[in-house]
Amino acid sequence: MSADTAIRPRRNSLRPAWEEKPTLIGQFGKGTILTLVVAAVLIPLWTVLVTSLSSEKTINEAGGYVFIPREFNPAAYVVIFSGGQVTDAILVSTFVTIVGTALSLVVTVLAAYGLSRPGTLWHRSILFYFLLTFLIYPGMIPSYLVVTGLGLKDNLLALILPTAISAFNLVVLRAFFMSIPGELYDSARIDGAGELRILWRIVLPLSKAVTAVVGLFYAVGYWNAFFNAILYIDRNDLQPVQRVLQQFILAGQSPTSSGTAVAIPGLGSTMPPSLAIKMAVVVVTIVPALIVYPFIQRHFTKGVIIGAVKG
Amino acid sequence: MSAPLVAAEPQAAVKKAKSISRQRLSFGQRLRRDWPLLLMCLPAMLLLLVFHYIPALGNIIAFQDYNPFVGDDPLEAFLYSEWIGFGNFEYLFKNAAFWDSVINTLSITAFQLVFYFPIPIFLAMLLNSIMSPRIRSLVQSVVYLPHFFSWVLVVSLFQMMIGGAGLLAQTLRHAGYTPPDMMTNPETFMFLITSQALWKDAGWGMIVFLAALVAIDTSLYEAAAADGAGRWRRMWHITLPGLRSVIILLLILRLGDALNVGFEQFVLQREMVGREAAEVVDTYVYYQGIAVQQWGVGAAAGLFKAVVGILLIVGANKLAHRFGEQGIYSKS
């Protein structure tokens, strides 16, 4: 079975001769369930998008959320992109995502390559060192003490370094690198290429797809980072986008975040943002996932994720 | 993974002799040959050392009355803090709030085993029975998507849809009904978090089962149909047995992870529904340790969870071997 068929439920869309004709009730039931499932995902996203593009007047007429689009009013987006906390947050998250992903990819690719040839010195011990992270977790409080002890409080590196390496991604990449025929390495070495050169010129071009997927998973992780920001970032202008989303949508619901040493920075002191602006912030946090998603999905078929799941 | 090379005879082929010679190199020769590869592993190892293993070792402050103010930095504070043996654990095990959090966590795991776990299997089987490839890939594209959303986003979307001022409440009020309170009611919290988890990850969870479904030999179905087995009997006697090993594996993994029910989802909603319903072990660690600054007690709770977690994983893996499955790690 090739990796290509692995993800598709069935390759052949023709109903085999031995299978019964579908019953009407069965067809109807399946159709209803699938429609409901798809609607459950799409309706919230649709509502958010339409409301974010509505004017104050339309929102008031609808009594809140707008479901049927009546206009295209980008005013909310103009507001959030013209400076202030949301703009800061978008810049912070973009920075963290780009720098973090680059760092994670470089470090993970190097280590995966370094481990891709069994029989090299200390190979098994180093592999064990990485795999042990699946079993032993750092624990929140010692992590907090280490990161703050390094002076990373209110430093964007605190959102990058602690989550920079995923042993899972490393193992996925390593498995792929190991599947590259050894003759390629040998011939390059005979031609006098060093390890870095082999990695850059031979291995990486052959593993573009899997590297891209690993990079995108890292990027999604950085963009979605939320809790480390609660722990390590107090300054208002350094908050990532997920924190702003939480303050806009959820903090209104839980006015007392007291009891937490990390108080939620004072957004509430200013005028509450209008519904359209809130929804525009939601859209902004979704959009990167939407952009990245088709790329990740295209590589599903290459068996990257299935291979990973099978270990 | 790598077949041992010792079996080959030295005088066999030139190529084999070469790979044999790899094994016979002295340490110095191997170091000279492999140092670039070792160097490449170094940055990742250092990052894990600082941000993973040192914090893991740092769990020993669970045995201290850790006080950050006795030193200038956490290391110094650690060196000067008083060792109190199992004092923190004694406090912890007498603390009703801690046991509440453990019970909450385990109930959530049990609840989700019943109301979450079967759904991806059901969805995968349903989708697999759809003939049109276009509908299949459309549904897949849509239901995988929420997996890439953050918990903040998922909880926010639920708030906007079914919360007190959400779309549903707004529509119901419009029609003259009083909307039910779904986001802040502790009694229905279990259902709420499970639906959020389903919304986010049920589609993604299908992937493994879809792959397992494809691996089932079609000729089995054909033979069964020829012998007169209807669609339900084929499902019972072919499809479900075909999924058996994946289901057992995932079930065991979930059991090994019983104390992990997610963290951000609960931290985000703890204030809305109250501590009684929403406190899980992870949030207890956070609020005890960092928010209330009882560092030692928080670390003790974290260590307790880590140790139980390791025991559960090892135990679950034993169980997997007993069922004749591979488990998470093999006996290498």
Mean pLDDT of chain B: 86
**Cβ within 8 Å, pair A9-B136:** yes
What per-residue confidence (pLDDT) applies to A241? 93
What residues of A are in contact with residue B39 (Cβ under 8 Å)? 114
Residue A158 lies in a domain: yes
Same domain, yes or no, for A47 and A154?
no
Same domain, yes or no, for B20 and B120?
no
Same domain, yes or no, for A69 and A82?
no
Closest CA to B249 of B149, B319, B310: B319
**Cβ within 8 Å, pair A242-B153:** yes
What residues of B are in contact with residue A6 (Cβ under 8 Å)? 211, 214
CATH number of the domain where residue B113 is located:
1.10.3720.10
**Cβ within 8 Å, pair B48-A129:** yes
Same domain, yes or no, for B4 and B146?
no
**Pairs from A35-39 (Cβ < 8 Å, separation ≥ 24):** A37/B123, A37/B139, A37/B142, A37/B143, A37/B203, A38/B138, A38/B139, A38/B142, A38/B143
Does the pLDDT of residue B7 top 50, yes or no?
no
3-state DSSP of A84-115: CHHHHHHHHHHHHHHHHHHHHHHHHHHHHHHC
Kindly tell me the sign of the dihedral angle through the C-alpha atoms of A189, A192, A197, A201.
negative
Closest CA to B46 of A164, A135, A96: A164
CATH number of the domain where residue A223 is located:
1.10.3720.10
Cα distance from A149 to chain B (closest Cα, Å)?
Answer: 5
CA distances from B277 to A279, B158, B183, B253, B314 (A): 29, 18, 12, 25, 29
Residue A17 lies in a domain: no
Residue B182 lies in a domain: yes
CA distance A73 to A276: 10
Same domain, yes or no, for A30 and A163?
no
Domain encompassing residue B3: 1-46
Does the pLDDT of residue B170 top 90, yes or no?
no
Same domain, yes or no, for B6 and B121?
no
CA distance A171 to B277: 38
Structurally, chain A folds into a number of domains equal to 2
What residues of A are in contact with residue B182 (Cβ under 8 Å)? none
B32 C-beta neighbours (distance < 10 Å), count: 11
Please report, in tens digits, the pLDDT of each residue of chain A (311 residues total). 344 444 555 445 577 878 888 888 989 999 999 999 999 999 999 999 999 998 888 888 888 888 888 888 888 898 888 888 889 999 999 999 999 999 999 999 999 999 998 888 899 999 999 999 988 888 889 999 999 999 999 999 999 999 999 999 999 899 989 988 888 888 888 888 888 899 998 899 888 888 988 998 899 999 999 999 999 999 988 999 999 999 888 875 433 333 333 333 333 334 456 888 889 999 999 998 888 888 777 776 554 444 444 43
The token pair that represents B83 in the structure block: 């060792």
CA distance A297 to A220: 13
CA distance A200 to A259: 51
The token pair that represents A89 in the structure block: 């947050």
CA distance B291 to B28: 52
What per-residue confidence (pLDDT) applies to A259? 30
**Cβ within 8 Å, pair B207-A309:** yes
Yes or no: say if A219 and B150 are a contact pair by the CB < 8 Å rule. Answer: no
**Cβ within 8 Å, pair B299-A142:** yes
Does the pLDDT of residue B292 top 60, yes or no?
yes
What per-residue confidence (pLDDT) applies to B90? 93
**Cβ within 8 Å, pair A146-B36:** no
Nearest-CA residue of chain B relative to A298? B141
Residue B51 lies in a domain: no
What residues of B are in contact with residue A170 (Cβ under 8 Å)? 44
Same domain, yes or no, for B188 and B311?
yes
Helix (H), strand (E) at residue B318: helix B295-322
For residue B64, what are the contacts with CB-CB under 8 A and spacing of at least 6? Answer: B78, B81, B82, B83, B84, B88, B296
Interchain CB contact of A194 with B (< 8 Å): yes
Yes or no: say if B129 and B239 are a contact pair by the CB < 8 Å rule. Answer: no
Same domain, yes or no, for A230 and A246?
yes
Mutate to test the interface with B, among A33, A38, A137, A145 (most CBs of B within 10 A): A145
Closest CB to A146 among B58, B218, B303: B58
**Cβ within 8 Å, pair A110-B1:** no
Does the pLDDT of residue B45 top 90, yes or no?
yes
Residue B74 lies in a domain: no
**Cβ within 8 Å, pair B145-A293:** yes
> pLDDT tens digit string along B206-246?
988 998 898 898 899 989 998 988 889 999 999 999 998 88
What per-residue confidence (pLDDT) applies to B327? 62
Residue A12 lies in a domain: no
Same domain, yes or no, for B95 and B28?
no
**Which one has a higher pLDDT value, B275 or A157?**
A157
What per-residue confidence (pLDDT) applies to A39? 96
**Cβ within 8 Å, pair A250-B221:** no
Same domain, yes or no, for B38 and B91?
no
**Cβ within 8 Å, pair B164-A42:** no
Same domain, yes or no, for A224 and A100?
yes
Residue B59 lies in a domain: no
**Cβ within 8 Å, pair A9-B214:** yes
| ipTM score assigned to the predicted complex | 0.84
What per-residue confidence (pLDDT) applies to B109? 94
Same domain, yes or no, for B38 and B92?
no
Mutate to test the interface with B, among A141, A150, A292 (most CBs of B within 10 A): A141
CA distance B280 to B93: 15
What residues of B are in contact with residue A292 (Cβ under 8 Å)? 148
Closest CA to B213 of B118, B119, B126: B126
Query: Three-class SS of residue A258?
Result: coil
Same domain, yes or no, for A53 and A94?
no
**Cβ within 8 Å, pair A117-B37:** yes
**Cβ within 8 Å, pair A40-B199:** yes
Exposed/middle/buried for A116, CB within 10 Å: 0-12, 13-18, 19+? buried
Nearest-CA residue of chain A relative to B142? A38
What residues of B are in contact with residue A140 (Cβ under 8 Å)? 282, 285-286, 289-290, 298, 302
Yes or no: say if B4 and B18 are a contact pair by the CB < 8 Å rule. Answer: no
Yes or no: say if B264 and B152 are a contact pair by the CB < 8 Å rule. Answer: yes
Same domain, yes or no, for B176 and B37?
no
- What count of CB pairs under 8 Å joins A to B? 323
**Cβ within 8 Å, pair A143-B50:** no
Window 54-73 of A, Cβ < 8 Å to B: 63-65, 67
**Cβ within 8 Å, pair B309-A194:** no
Task: Using the 3D structure, point to which of B46, B61, B78 is the last residue of a domain.
Answer: B46
- Classify residue B82 by its DSSP letter: E
Residues β-bridged to residue B65: B82
Residues β-bridged to residue B82: B65
B308 C-beta neighbours (distance < 10 Å), count: 14
pTM over 0.90: no
Structurally, chain B folds into a number of domains equal to 2
Most confident of A16-30, A39-53, B5-19, B66-80: A39-53
Cα distance from B218 to chain A (closest Cα, Å)?
Answer: 10
Backbone angles phi, psi at B64, to 5 degrees: -120, 160
Residue B54 lies in a domain: no
Closest CB to B44 among A43, A110, A146: A110
Query: Three-class SS of residue A211?
Result: helix
CA distance B213 to A253: 44
Same domain, yes or no, for B42 and B146?
no
> pLDDT tens digit string along B192-202?
999 999 999 99
Window 232-271 of A, Cβ < 8 Å to B: 242-243, 245-246, 249-250, 253-254, 256-257, 259-262
Same domain, yes or no, for A134 and A264?
yes
Domain encompassing residue A274: 76-310
Closest CA to A310 of B2, B322, B208, B203: B208
Same domain, yes or no, for A86 and A200?
yes
Same domain, yes or no, for A169 and A222?
yes
What residues of B are in contact with residue A214 (Cβ under 8 Å)? none
Query: Three-class SS of residue A64?
Result: coil
Closest CA to A240 of B137, B153, B211: B153
What per-residue confidence (pLDDT) applies to B15? 47
Closest CB to B295 among A115, A133, A141: A141
Residue A5 lies in a domain: no
What per-residue confidence (pLDDT) applies to B326? 67
Same domain, yes or no, for A128 and A160?
yes
Cα distance from B110 to chain A (closest Cα, Å)?
Answer: 22
**Cβ within 8 Å, pair B148-A33:** no
Same domain, yes or no, for A196 and A258?
yes
What per-residue confidence (pLDDT) applies to B207? 86
Same domain, yes or no, for A296 and A180?
yes
Residue B152 lies in a domain: yes
Residue A223 lies in a domain: yes
Residues β-bridged to residue B64: B83
What per-residue confidence (pLDDT) applies to A258? 31
Helix axes B118-128, A24-52, angle to 10 degrees: 110
Interchain CB contact of A41 with B (< 8 Å): yes
Task: Using the 3D structure, point to which of A36, A51, A73 is the last residue of a domain.
Answer: A73
Residue B103 lies in a domain: yes
What per-residue confidence (pLDDT) applies to A255? 33
Residue B215 lies in a domain: yes
What per-residue confidence (pLDDT) applies to B100? 94
Cα distance from A143 to chain B (closest Cα, Å)?
Answer: 5
